[in-house]
Amino acid sequence: MDYPIWYLPYFGGAMVIASIAIVHVFIAHFAVGAGLFNAIAETHALRHNDTAIQKFLRDNSKLIILLPLIGGVVTGVGIWFSISIVSPETTSILIHLFLWAWALEWLLFTVEIISGYLYYYTWKTISPRAHCFIGWVYAVSAFLSLVVINGILTFMITPGHIFDSSTTPFTFSFWPGLFNPAYWPSLILRTISALTLGALFALVLINASRKYTPAERDRLTQLAGKALLPLVLAIPAAVWYFFRCPPLSLSYLTGGSVVMGLLFAFALVGFTLIAFYSYTFIIVRKHSVTLGTALLLLILAFIATGASEFVREGMRKPYLIWNHVYSNGILKSQAPAIRDTLTAQQPIRREATIAQLRDLPYTGPVPNDTVLRFHPWAINPIDVNIPIVTDPQAIALELGLTVAQLPLDRQGAHLAEFTISEAEFYTQDPLIFANLLRQHRTGQAIRGQWIYNAQCLRCHDFDGYNAIKPLVRNWTPTMLARSLEHLESFRGFMPPFFGSPNDRDDLAYFMHTLDGQCSRCHETLDDQANRVNLLPITAKDNWEPLP
């Protein structure tokens, strides 16, 4: 929450990461699976002097090897770029904890790139044994990079007891962190997924080419079919994985979230169908596979892999690192400090700072006490441009009060929020109070937006995917404030709200303004003039802060 917030309108930053990451997962899994498939197939061909398999591998190594190298390299960098701008805090934590894991993976990927290119370019220039060796180097380095990265991915959902984010600096132990509770079942699942994608892609290529005789095609199909056999281990490994995950995350799959439950079921059914087909029809009955069937199976595997990745990501909610970092980047260990103090850890400090610095002439370092004046009047020169209204009747009408009520209701405004003196505040002049009240409301909405930006915007854009507007439609500020008060109980996958009761009311007020249907409840001056039959609800009923 200490970084500027970046989001993509309508799409959302999280979706940017998801789009790139899921494509990367496909490519990376495919690279591992294809590498292992190629190495095994080439060894088999070498032992049995099977020229058909060698020809197939040679013909398709450009697609099998080079395509993942191009796509994998670019999307791999894409993940770095996107996570660093969408979730800089969590990225920073993971980088510091797992710098050397990523460095190990980088070394392995370097070998993977070089061996991949050598594999492709040396089919006809080196001995078959030497070529097969390079194929194995590619396969092993690709698999080992999965071995390393898998640890970082599972750490985010099962960090275990070796990580403590409440200490300064964080307490962490590298190897137990890497080989965390969910590590092994996840590695098995990912390896199975990789082999499946590699084998199914090979099936498509076998049947897409007319270069091979039916006998050769059947032999190659059998070979690819055997690579699908480990799929029978998918369900036991998945059960093992889920038993390792926190109970709350499992509850999303068992009714807590309909979408995640459906995606999980789809992934399970998809992989089961592929396993059933490959075992029954390819291995046992030794049927040929048509191009259409192979494509269908591959698409099914892609969708099932995508669905399982989506479920894996979703299961982490409301955290990015389970029990340590919430999805909005706030550390769980910082929560008490954020709730109790309104200074350094105040949740809107960054937003307030930025909003004010944006329109102040910048001449050098700004002291904290200047930038932390986040009361509404501090932002008057920036966003609030309310003309002073001098007609008490007009003000009363706008506020839904009578003129007689104006001085009496001044307690409704927070004195602490204003920079004017107490004496000035308690003046009996209704004009001063009325204008203060109007400015207070505007200030409240602006403060609310700062809080919203700091705590909500990363996941909830105003419009578009996972937008906030449909979620708060027809909610009153009171309802919103009450739900914010118990957000984590109200919605299990949401992080709690951080801030003082005033902050909460401001956020509720801001979210209420997003409804865009103020005229449904509030009379305007025009309505008054035309006597439109609207509910004569006073402003106070709707926005008054909770006790």
For residue 119, which amino acid is it? Y
CB atoms within 10 A of CB 499: 21
Instruction: Report, in Å, the least distance between residue 541 CB and other proteins.
Output: 37
Structure tokens at 462: 């105003």
The count of residues in the chain is 547
386 DSSP 8-state letter: P
Between 477 and 495, CB nearer to other proteins: 495
| Closer residue to other proteins, CB minimum distance, 73 or 403 | 73
| CB of 249 vs other proteins, minimal distance in Å | 24
Say if CB 164 and CB 176 are below 8 A apart: no
Of the two residues 275 and 459, which places its CB atom closer to other proteins in the complex? 459
Closer residue to other proteins in complex, CB, 112/409: 112
Q: Which is nearer to other proteins, 113 or 273 (CB)?
A: 113
- For residues 355 and 484, which CB has a smaller minimum distance to other proteins in the complex? 355
Q: Enter the tokens of residue 187.
A: 């590695």
**Cα(450)–Cα(441) distance, integer angstroms:** 14
Q: How far is the CB of 131 from other proteins (least distance, A)?
A: 9
H-helix or E-strand spanning residue 325: strand 325-326
Cβ at position 538, least distance to other proteins in Å = 38
Query: For residue 383, how far is the Cα from the chain centroid?
Result: 31
Name the residue nearer to other proteins (CB basis): 102 or 240.
102
CA atoms 360, 361, 366, 369: torsion sign: negative
Rounded to an integer, what is the distance from CA 78 to the centroid of its chain? Answer: 14
CB of 14 to other proteins, least distance (A): 14
321 vs 93: CA distance, rounded Å: 10
* Burial class (CB within 10 angstroms; exposed 0-12, middle 13-18, buried 19+) of 414: middle
Q: How far is the CB of 161 from other proteins (least distance, A)?
A: 18
Residues 539/400, Cβ–Cβ less than 8 Å: yes
Closest CA to 154 of 229, 101, 77, 192: 101
Shortest separation between residue 500's beta carbon and other proteins, angstroms:
20
In the bound state with other proteins, the residue whose beta carbon lies nearer, of 104 and 467, is: 104
Give the residue with the Cβ less far from other proteins, 283 or 366. 366
Q: What are phi and psi of 231, to 5 degrees?
A: -60, -25
C-alpha gyration radius of the chain: 30
Residues 6+ away with beta carbon under 8 Å from 346 = 338, 352, 372, 374, 499
Q: What angle do CA 91, 97, 102 make, to 5 degrees?
A: 75
Least distance in angstroms from the C-beta of 128 to other proteins: 7
Closest separation in Å from C-beta 487 to other proteins:
24
- Least distance in Å: CB of 454 to other proteins? 12
Residue in the block written with tokens 């979408």 = 259
Cis peptide before 347 (omega within 30 of 0): no
User: Least distance (Å) from other proteins to the CB of residue 83?
Assistant: 10
CA distance 486 to 183: 33
Strand partners, 202: none
Quote the least distance from Cβ 88 to other proteins, whole Å. 4
The H or E element containing residue 321 is: strand 319-321
Residues 340, 500 contacting (CB under 8 angstroms): no
Q: How far is the CB of 223 from other proteins (least distance, A)?
A: 24
Let me know: does 221 contact 249? Beta carbons within 8 Å.
Answer: no
Nearest residue (CB) to other proteins, 133 versus 184: 133
In the complex with other proteins, the residue whose CB is nearer, 20 or 34, is: 20
Q: Please, which residue, 13 or 496, has the CB nearer to other proteins?
A: 13
C-alpha–C-alpha distance, residues 440 and 384, integer Å: 10
Q: Please, are residues 337 and 500 in contact by the beta-carbon 8 Å criterion?
A: no
Nearer to other proteins, 62 or 473 (CB): 62
